[in-house]
């Protein structure tokens, strides 16, 4: 039997039982649509996070105290050796490196703010003037911390927009005196709202000179040093120079971890890709279920068409021909279902994008290929058994069925 005839025969056979065919096509379509929509969601989340992270600041290099064994971004590894303090002087030394544009030290802790008769918990971040430019923050009122000796900061503070709102409401904040823990500082500026910036909401932070924060929290070490490279191409050079400089300053010991924004991004990227793959895997289970349904539908087809199979054998059909015809039918059900589901899934992703425009919900190519492949694969795989059964039917017995 010619291939075109096998296909036409299978198509007509599938068309001859619309309900059966419709159901298995639907099951397959739902499975594929689930994979497409869920991976669009997962990958959309990945792109969203990556975009947000990129907005942190460009060409960023971060130094943290403690040596990470792998050099990757892992807080657990950061604690493997007792690190030497990462001091303000260390940070200041980095400002003279050739590939470095700006440096900002960062010391942080929790404290209380008390002003205007109100009290609340805040995160206090000790830093210096360049911080605002490294993070590309904008001022709503006043100005950011002044250029000054990092070791002798004035008792001033810059507050986040949410703090301003909650403590001062509509009253002017700039120029007011506030209590921060046991210190009295003067507000010199309010930041524009920026929202969530990965882990710490900048709108709820009070920025003070780094020396003030260190004495408040009674520490010499820095939590982070943020460095902006002169250009994207300089990031690796910055990493090298910073590592060498701090090694020299710390008695020839590499006791800091230097991470680049790219590395952090790569970590998040990897994490969310894994998440998307996991979601796709779960959705793929529905494809296996659809495959089993196709198998049952084909088994029913073999039973229903037993007399026909007997007839085909009497008319000279070889076992292989009958097997091919039933396999082709199973493949068609799967294929048709897969493409219907693909269309449905794309539509679902489109609806998601319309509803959440910031969320780039596009299914990744690999997921589409995998979903279509799995659908076809399971359909064919589960089609083998019924097709073989059909091919092996005894013609005399089959012809007696009616």
Select from 320, 347, 351, 373 the one that contacts other proteins (CB under 8 A).
Answer: 320
317 is a site residue for other proteins (CB under 8 A)? yes
- For 220, the 3-state DSSP assignment is coil
Select from 1, 78, 129, 385 the one that contacts other proteins (CB under 8 A).
Answer: 1
195 is a site residue for other proteins (CB under 8 A)? no
Q: How far is the CB of 22 from other proteins (least distance, A)?
A: 16
**Which of the stretches 55-63, 84-92, 215-223, 305-313 binds other proteins when contact is defined by CB under 8 A?**
305-313
Select from 96, 138, 232, 318 the one that contacts other proteins (CB under 8 A).
Answer: 318
Q: How far is the CB of 14 from other proteins (least distance, A)?
A: 10
DSSP 136: T
Residues 321 to 350 in contact with other proteins, rule: CB under 8 A: 321
Q: How far is the CB of 301 from other proteins (least distance, A)?
A: 12
How many residues does this entry show for the chain?
A: 402
- For 218, the 3-state DSSP assignment is coil
Q: Which is nearer to other proteins, 298 or 361 (CB)?
A: 298
Q: How far is the CB of 359 from other proteins (least distance, A)?
A: 48
**Which of the stretches 105-113, 122-130, 294-302, 304-312 binds other proteins when contact is defined by CB under 8 A?**
304-312
CA distance 295 to 378: 9
Residue 108's nearest CA partner among 257, 259, 224, 264 is 224
Decide the pairing of beta strands 118-127 and 100-115.
antiparallel
312 is a site residue for other proteins (CB under 8 A)? yes
Select from 319, 350, 356, 369 the one that contacts other proteins (CB under 8 A).
Answer: 319
CA distance 66 to 62: 13
Q: How far is the CB of 366 from other proteins (least distance, A)?
A: 40
Point out which residues pair with 64 in neighbouring strands.
257
Select from 9, 53, 92, 359 the one that contacts other proteins (CB under 8 A).
Answer: 9
19 is a site residue for other proteins (CB under 8 A)? no
307 is a site residue for other proteins (CB under 8 A)? yes
Point out which residues pair with 158 in neighbouring strands.
189, 207
**Which of the stretches 73-81, 203-211, 214-222, 312-320 binds other proteins when contact is defined by CB under 8 A?**
312-320
311 is a site residue for other proteins (CB under 8 A)? yes
CB 341 within 8 A of CB 335: no
315 is a site residue for other proteins (CB under 8 A)? yes
N-term to C-term CA, the chain: 25
**In terms of C-beta density within 10 A (0-12 exposed, 13-18 middle, 19 or more buried), how is residue 96 classed?**
exposed
Residue 216's nearest CA partner among 226, 208, 224, 204 is 208
CB 167 within 8 A of CB 120: yes
Q: Which residue has the tokens 């004495």?
A: 215
**For other proteins, how many residues bind (rule: CB under 8 A)?**
26
Residues 363 to 402 in contact with other proteins, rule: CB under 8 A: 395-396, 399, 402
Give the count of alpha carbons within 13 A of 189, CB side only.
18
Q: Which is nearer to other proteins, 2 or 152 (CB)?
A: 2
**Tokens in use for 216?**
């408040």
CA distance 147 to 308: 91
Residue 181's nearest CA partner among 203, 155, 160, 204 is 155
316 is a site residue for other proteins (CB under 8 A)? yes
313 is a site residue for other proteins (CB under 8 A)? yes
22 is a site residue for other proteins (CB under 8 A)? no
92 is a site residue for other proteins (CB under 8 A)? no
CA distance 66 to 221: 11
Q: Which residue has the tokens 């923050």?
A: 137
Q: How far is the CB of 308 from other proteins (least distance, A)?
A: 6
**Which of the stretches 11-19, 80-88, 137-145, 218-226 binds other proteins when contact is defined by CB under 8 A?**
11-19
149 is a site residue for other proteins (CB under 8 A)? no
**Tokens in use for 354?**
């319309």
Q: Which residue has the tokens 């939590």?
A: 223
Residue 160's nearest CA partner among 186, 194, 128 is 194
**Which of the stretches 13-21, 46-54, 83-91, 193-201 binds other proteins when contact is defined by CB under 8 A?**
13-21
296's enclosing H/E stretch is helix 261-304
304 is a site residue for other proteins (CB under 8 A)? no
200 is a site residue for other proteins (CB under 8 A)? no
Diameter of the chain measured on Cα atoms:
102
Residues that bind other proteins (CB under 8 A): 1-2, 5, 9, 12-13, 15-16, 307-308, 310-321, 395-396, 399, 402
């Amino acid at each position: 039997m010619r291939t075109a005839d096998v296909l036409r025969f299978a198509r007509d056979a599938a068309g001859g039982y619309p309900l059966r065919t419709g159901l298995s096509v639907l099951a397959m379509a739902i499975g594929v649509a689930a994979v497409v929509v869920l991976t669009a969601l997962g990958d959309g989340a990945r792109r969203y996070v990556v975009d947000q992270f990129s907005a942190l600041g460009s060409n960023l290099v971060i130094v943290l105290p403690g040596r990470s064994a792998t050099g990757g971004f892992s807080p657990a590894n950061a604690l493997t050796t007792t690190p030497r303090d990462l001091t303000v002087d260390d940070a200041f030394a980095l400002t003279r490196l050739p590939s470095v544009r700006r440096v900002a030290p960062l010391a942080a802790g929790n404290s209380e703010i008390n002003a205007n008769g109100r009290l609340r918990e805040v995160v206090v971040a000790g830093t210096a003037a360049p911080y605002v430019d490294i993070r590309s923050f904008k001022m709503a009122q006043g100005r950011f911390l002044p250029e000054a000796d990092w070791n002798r900061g004035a008792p001033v503070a810059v507050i986040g927009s949410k703090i301003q709102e909650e403590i001062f409401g509509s009253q002017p904040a700039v120029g007011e005196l506030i209590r921060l823990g046991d210190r009295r500082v003067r507000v010199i500026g309010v930041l524009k709202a920026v929202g969530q910036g990965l882990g710490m909401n900048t709108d709820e932070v009070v920025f003070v000179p780094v020396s003030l924060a260190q004495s408040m929290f009674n520490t010499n070490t820095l939590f982070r040093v943020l460095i902006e490279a002169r250009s994207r191409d300089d990031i690796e050079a910055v990493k090298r120079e910073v590592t060498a400089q701090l090694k020299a300053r710390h008695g020839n010991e590499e006791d800091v971890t230097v991470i680049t924004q790219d590395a952090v991004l790569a970590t998040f990227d990897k994490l969310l890709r894994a998440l998307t793959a996991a979601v796709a895997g779960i959705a793929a289970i529905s494809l296996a279920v659809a495959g089993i349904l196709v198998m049952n539908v084909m088994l029913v087809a073999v039973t229903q068409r037993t007399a026909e199979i007997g007839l085909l054998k009497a008319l000279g059909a070889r076992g292989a021909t009958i097997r091919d015809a039933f396999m082709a039918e199973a493949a068609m059900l799967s294929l048709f279902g897969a493409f219907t589901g693909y269309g449905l899934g794309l539509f679902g992703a489109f609806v998601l994008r319309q509803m959440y425009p910031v969320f780039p919900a596009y299914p990744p190519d690999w997921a589409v290929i995998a979903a279509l492949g799995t659908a076809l694969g399971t359909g064919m795989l589960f089609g083998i058994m019924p097709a073989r059964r059909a091919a092996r039917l005894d013609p005399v017995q089959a012809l007696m069925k009616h």
